[in-house]
Amino acid sequence: MRYFFMTKYSTELKIEIVSKYLNHEDSIKGLAKQYNIHWTLIRRWIDKAKCQGLAALSVKHTKTTYSSDFRLNVVRYYLTHSIGVSKVAAKFNISDSQVYNWAKKFNEEGYAGLLPKQKGRPRKVPKKSKKTTKKLELSEKQKYEEKILKQEAELERLRVENLVLKKVAARYPRYPTNKKHN
């Protein structure tokens, strides 16, 4: 089965816009106004080109399926590094929404949320087989990896929170944070 995806912006246009920015011919806002494209979209193209080169801007005409290991690596990178979704997406050459959706699924369902799901309409008459259907269970190693990944993400979140609190305390010294209020 072949898929046909329409794209709003051609590869040539993307390369032209990014090249103008990288050659310091115009600013992002100026290019956005000139081409009537939102500046955040241009920023994404620039980030993608900086990470992987101009070839990453080419339009994909095939539906790509990603392995669960690749998905886990992307989510692990996103949760352990304090960078945004768009930077992670540019690094792995996938869409922002894909990174966000995988991270959300991982937080809700764990590693099982990243496994491929059966697609299509279910059969009306079940297939006769002597084999019983087994529920997919995670191995002990995968459970520990999932637990470690969640703990690393929580640790990173707490580090950032601690840093913010230290900066607030340094900025407003007359309001000490260690006093007990009666």
pTM check: above 0.75: no
Which distant-in-sequence residues (6+ apart) come within 8 Å of 57 by Cβ?
A: 11, 14, 15, 18, 45, 48, 49
> How far from chain centre, in Å, is Cα 69?
15
Tens digit of each residue's pLDDT, the chain (182 residues): 444 444 688 888 888 998 999 898 889 899 999 989 899 889 988 888 887 777 777 777 677 788 888 998 999 898 888 788 888 888 888 888 889 999 999 888 888 888 887 778 877 877 665 554 444 566 777 888 888 888 888 888 898 889 888 888 888 776 555 655 55
**Class at the top of the CATH hierarchy for domain 1-63:** mainly alpha
Beta strands in 12-127 (DSSP E): none
> How far from chain centre, in Å, is Cα 132?
37
